[in-house]
Structure 1
Amino acid sequence: MAQTTRIERRSIDVVPVSERHGTPLNQLTLWFGANMQITAIVDGALAVIFGADALWAIVGTLVGNLLGGIVMALHSAQGPRLGLPQMISSRAQFGVIGAVVPLVLVVLMYLGFASTGTVLAGQAISRTMGLDSPNVGIVVFGILSAVVAIVGYRWIHAMGRVGTVVGIIAWTYLLVRLFTAYDIPALLGHKPFDIVTFLLAVSLGAGWQLTYGPYVADYSRYLPLGTSETKTFWATLAGSVLGSQWSMTLGALIAAVPAVTGKGFLANQVGFIGELAGGGMLAIVFYLVIVVGKLTVNCLNAYGGSMTMLTTMSAFQRTARVSTLARALYITAFIAASVLVALLASADFLNNFKNFVLVLLMVFTPWSAINLVDYYLVARERVDVPALYDARGRYGRVNGGALLIYALGIAVQVPFLAQAMYTGPATKALGGADISWIVGLLVTAALYYPYARRTARHPSRIIYPEGVLDA
C-alpha cells in the first residue's frame, strides 16, 4: 500500500526501468475519464450554438476527434521508449534553450484550461454547498487539484479510472433523460448541411485533441520499456476519442433542443445539468459528478503545467533532477495562478472558450508537426537523452531553423483563421470555413522534413543516461 500512496519522486528526469509499471490499458481509462467532463459537453454544444445542425455537429466533432486523436496518440507512443515528459523531447528539435518558446506557450495553454475548468467545477462545488457565489468552490477545487497532482502519477491514473466509471454511468443517465424529455430524433437533420459550421465542428474536435499533444507522454512514460508502441497508440486514441465524442455528442444534443437554450444553458451549464438530472438530490449528485470529471483533467493540467515550468527553468540551470519539494511548490504556484484567473474570469464563458481553443489550435499544430516528423521520420526514434539536458550537447542551445519553421507554421494559418476578432481573406473566400489547423500541419511538416534531413543531429541508436536501464 505504501508504494501506491507515496508522493511521486520523478519530475523531468528519465524514469528508470526499475520503476516502470502498468499496461497500455491504463492510458485508455485515463484519457476516457479525463474526457467524460462538462467542458467537453460545452465543446460539443458550441458547434450547434454557432449554427451547425446537431447531426452534422456530431459527425464533424467525430471527424475532428479522430484526426486530432491520431496526432495526440502518436505523441503518447513516445512515452514508453523515452521515459520522458512530453515537452523535454522538444529540445531535440528546437535546442535546449530554443524549446523554451513552445514551452512558454504550453504553460499558457495549461493555465487557460485549468482556469476555465476551475470556473465550472467551482460552480458545481458551491451549488453542492448551497452557496450562490462560486468563489468558495473555486478555492476548494484548487486545493483538491493540488493535492492529487502533488501525490502524482498513480493517483492521477486512479482518478482516470474513477472518472471512467462515473462518467459512463452519469452520461448514460443524462442521455436517457434527454431522449425521454425531448423528441431528439426530430431535431437531427433539421438543418441542411453547411460546410462552414461543419468545419467549425471538425476544428473544435481536432483542437480538443491536438491541445492534448503536450500532455500525453507525461502519462505513458512510466510504462515498461519495450511496451508496444502500437498498443500504447491505440489505447490512448480509443480512450480519448471515445470519451470526448461521448461528451460532445451529449453537448450537441442538449444544445439542439430549443427549450434548453431558453432555460439558460448558454449562461448556466452547471445548473442546467443539475436540472436535466432531475433536480433536488439528483442535481447534487451530478454536481459531484462534474467535480470528479473536472478534477481528473485538472490534475493533468496542474501536473503537466508544473513540469513544463520546471522544464523551462531547467534549460538555464543544466539540471535533470528536481526535488520533491520543488515540484510540489511549482504545482502549488500553478494552481494558485489558475484559481486567481478563475476568480477573475469573464461571464462570457462559451464564446471566450471557443476562441481560446481555436487560438491554441493555431499555436500547437506546428509544434506537433515538427515533433512528430522529427521523432518518427527523421530521428526514427533514436534520441540522445542525456543531450536533452545539456545546451553544449548534440542538440545545442537554439535551433534557429526549426524555430523559424515553427513561426512560419503559425503565420501561414492566419489567412485561414475564423475568429471573433479576425477573419482571414482565405476564410472569407471559403465562405467562412476555418481550415487553418490543416494548413498549419501540412505546411509545417512539408517545410520541416527536408530541413531536418539536411541538418540531422540524431544518434545512430537511442542513448539513455547511466543507470536508467539497470533492472
Structure 2
Amino acid sequence: MAAHAPRIERRSIDAIPAAERQGTPANQFTLWLGANLQITAVVDGALAVVFGAHALWAIVGLLLGNVLGGAVMALHSAQGPRLGLPQMISSRAQFGVFGAVVPLVLVIVMYLGFTATGTVLSGQAINAFLGVDAPAVGICLFIALVAVIAIVGHDLIHSVGRVASVLGIIGFGYLAVRLFTQHDVGAAFAHPTFDFATFLLAVSLGAGWQLTYGPYVADYSRYLPADTPPRHTFWGTFAGSVLGSQVSMTFGAVVAAVAGDAFLSGQVAWLGDLAGPAAVAALIYLLIVVGKLTVTCLNAYGSFMCAATSVTAFTGQRRMGQGARAAFIVVMLLASMAIALWASADFLSNFKNFVLLLLMVFTPWSAINLTDYYLVSKEKVDLPALYDPEGRYGRWNAAALVTYAVGIVVQVPFLAQTLYTGPVTKALGGADISWLVGLAVPALVYYVWAGRQHRAPEQMIGFPEVAALDGADGTAEPAGSR
C-alpha cells in the first residue's frame, strides 16, 4: 500500500529525461476539463450578463472568446512534450536568460490574483458546508489543502484533475436540471437584443480566461513522451479547456439572467439554494471546493516554476530542490490568503477588472513566444543555452523586450477599465478589443525584427547528460517518485 502513496516530485525546471516521460494527451483533456468545471468560470460567464449582454449573445460571445483564446493556449501546451521543460523557461529563447524575468514577475502576480479570487469562493463553500460564518475559516482550510497537493506535485495534480472532471460533470448536470425545473429559463432568452459593446466584453472574458493559462500550460504537458504528436497535445488540451470553460460560463450566463441580484449578492449561497435539500446542498458545496482545487493547485505549482526560473537566471542553477518548492508555495499561498480576505468584499467587480487587466500584459507575451517558436525558430531550440547567460540567447534580447513594451502600450487606447477607458473604446461604445491588438501588433513586430537576428539553431539541441541518462537506463522510474 505504501508503495503506491504519492511522493514529492523531484523534478523542477530541469529537462524531463525520456525514461521518465509518461502519459497521453487524454491526461491533458481531463486535467483542463477539471480545471474549468468550477465556480470561478461560472462567475466569469455571469459577468457578461451582469454587465449588460443578453444571455444568448453572452453565450455566443463567450464561446467565440474561448475558442480563440483556447487555440492560443493549446499552442503553448504543444511545446511541452518537445521541450520537456516548464512553459516560462522557453521565454528565455525570446527575451534572454535575464530578460525573461520581466514577464515572469507579472505571471507570479497573476498566480497570486487568481489563487486569491478562487480562494474567496472556495472559502465560502467550506464555510457553508461547516455552517460557520467567519470567512477566515474556509479560506485557511482551503489554502492548507492546496499547499499539500501542490507540494507533492505534478502527478497528484493530474489525479485531482481527473476526479474534478468526473465530479464536475455530475455536479453541473444536476444543477442544470435544477435550474431548468425551478426557474423560467425560457424567459431569459426572450427578445435577444444584440449590443456590440457587451458582446465584445463577453468575447474578451472568454478569451482572457483562456489566454491567462498560457504561461503555465506546458508545465503539465512536459512529462508526455517527446514523440507525442503536437496536434494530439493541442487537441487534448484545447478540447478539455474550451469544453469545461464553456459549460461553466454558459451555466453562469443563464444563472445571472434568471437570478439577477440574488446571484450577485452571494454566488456560493445561491448555488446551494438551487441544489435543494440541505444534504444535497452540502454535496454541492464540496463539489465547489473540489472544482477549485485543480486550478488553484495549478496556480500554486506554476508560481514555483516561475520563481525558480527567475532565481536560477542569476544563480546558474538548472533545478531547485523539494524544500525550495515547498517554501515558496507556502509563502505564495499565504500572500494569496491575505488578498482573498481583502478582496471578498467586492468580488465581482474586482474579478472583472483583474481578468481584463491581465489580458493587457499576457497577450503580448503569448504573441512573442508563439511567433518565435513556430514561425521564427520553427520549433528548434538550443536547450542548454536557455540556462547560460553567455550562450546563444544571451542575457537580454532587445527585440523581445521592446516588442513586449510596445504590445502593452498599444493596448492603452483600447482599454475598458473602471479607472480608465481608452478613446478608441469610447468611440466603439465601450467595446474592449485590446487583447486583439495585443496579439496582432507584437506578433508582427517581433516576426519582422527577430527574423533578422538568426538566433535559432539549425536543429533542436538537447542536454548531453539527459541523453546519456536515457541511453544508460531505458526504464522509467515510478511516476510518483519524481
Among residues 362, 365, 374, which one is paired with 1:376 in the alignment? 374
- Structure 2 CA distance for aligned equivalents of residues 301 and 11 of structure 1: 15
Q: Which residue of 1 aligns with 2:235?
A: 234
In structure 2, C-alpha distance between the alignment counterparts of 1:126 and 1:57, rounded to whole Å: 31
Preserved CA contact (<8 Å) 2:201 2:431:
yes
Matched, 1:456 2:454: yes
Q: Is residue 207–residue 357 contact of structure 1 (8 Å, CA) maintained in 2?
A: yes
- The alpha carbon displacement at 1:460 in A equals 0.8
Distance in 2 of aligned mates of 1:342 and 1:15: 35
Cα displacement string for residues 270-315 of structure 1 (whole angstroms, at most 9, x for unaligned residues): 1111001114111111110000011111000000011111111111
Shift of the alpha carbon at 1:429?
1.2
Cα offsets for 1:58-110 (capped at 9, x unmatched) = 00000000000000000000000000000000000000000000000000001
Q: Secondary structure at the match of 1:344?
A: helix
Are residue 397 (structure 1) and residue 398 (structure 2) matched? no
Q: 1:139-150 maps to which residues of 2 (within 5 A)?
A: 139-150=140-151
* 1:293 alignment partner, one of 274, 291, 294: 291
Match of 1:386, as an amino acid? P
Q: Which amino acid aligns with 1:193?
A: F
Q: What's the counterpart of residue 439 of structure 1?
A: 437
Unaligned runs of 5+ in 2: 475-482
TM-score by length of 1: 0.98
**Alignment-mate amino acid for residue 83 of structure 1:** G
Separation of aligned partners in 2, 1:106 and 1:389 = 20
Q: Distance in 2 between matches of 1:291 and 1:16?
A: 35
- Tell me the distance in 1 between the aligned counterparts of 2:62 and 2:51: 14
Q: Which residue of 2 aligns with 1:336?
A: 334
State how far apart, in whole Å, the 2-side matches of 1:391 and 1:4 are.
40
Name the CA distance, whole Å, in 1 between partners of 2:285 and 2:179. Answer: 17
Q: 1:20 to 1:4 in 2, by over 3 A?
A: farther
Q: Which of 308, 328, 336 is 2:306 aligned to?
A: 308
Amino acid at match of 2:389: A
Is the aligned partner of 1:468 residue 2:469?
A: no
CA distance in 2, matches of 1:123, 1:184: 26
**What is the CA distance between 1:183 and its match in structure 2?**
1.7
Cα distance in 2, alignment partners of residues 135 and 190 from structure 1: 43
* Counterparts of 2:88 and 2:5, CA distance in 1: 26
- Could you tell me which residue of structure 1 aligns to residue 424 of structure 2? 426
> Which of the residues 323, 348, 351 maps onto 1:350?
348
Does residue 22 (structure 1) correspond to residue 23 (structure 2)? The answer is yes
CA distance in 2 between partners of 1:267 and 1:101 (Å): 38
- Find the aligned partners of 1:276 and 1:57 in 2 and give their Cα distance: 22
Aligned match of 1:50: 51
Structure 1 residue 249 corresponds to structure 2 residue 250: yes
Counterpart in 2 of 1:87? Answer: 88
User: Residue 468 of structure 1: CA displacement?
Assistant: 2.1
Structure 2 residue corresponding to 1:270, chosen from 268, 271, 274: 268
The separation in 2 between residues aligned to 1:351 and 1:202, in whole angstroms, is 18
Give the 5 Å matches for 1:10-159.
Answer: 10-159=11-160
- Whether the 8 Å CA contact 1:53–1:189 is kept in 2: the answer is no
Deviation, structure 1 residue 341 = 1.5
Q: Secondary structure at the match of 2:464?
A: coil
RMSD across aligned positions (CA): 1.0
Q: Is the 8 A contact 1:207 1:360 kept in 2?
A: yes
Provide the rounded CA distance (Å) in 2 between the counterparts of 1:306 and 1:127.
31
Query: How far, CA to CA, are the matches of 2:387 and 2:147 in structure 1?
Result: 27
Q: What letter corresponds to residue 92 of structure 2 in structure 1?
A: R
CA displacement at 1:7 relative to structure 2: 1.0
Assess if the C-alpha contact under 8 Å between 2:383 and 2:461 holds in 1.
yes
SS of equivalent to 2:260 = helix
TM-score, with normalisation over the residues of structure 2? 0.96
- Residue aligned with 2:345, SS: coil
Aligned residues: 468
Cα distance in 1 for residues equivalent to 2:117 and 2:71: 25
**SS in structure 1 of the partner of residue 343 of structure 2:** coil
2:343·2:350 contact (CA, 8 Å) conserved in 1? no
Distance in 1 (alpha carbons) for counterparts of 2:422 and 2:344: 26
Does residue 407 in structure 1 map to residue 405 in structure 2? yes
What residue in structure 2 maps to residue 215 of structure 1? 216
Q: Following TM superposition, by how much is the alpha carbon of 1:464 offset from its aligned partner in structure 2, in angstroms?
A: 1.1
2:365 to 367, 372, 375: 367
SS at match of 1:300: helix
- 2:397 and 2:5 mapped to 1: Cα distance? 41
Question: What is the CA-CA distance between 1:231 and the residue it aligns to?
Answer: 0.4
The CA deviation string for residues 203-239 of structure 1, in whole angstroms up to 9 with x for no partner, is 0000000000011100000001100100000000000
Structure 2 Cα separation of the partners of residues 122 and 466 of structure 1: 47
Unaligned runs of 5+ in 1: none
Shift of 1:26: 0.1
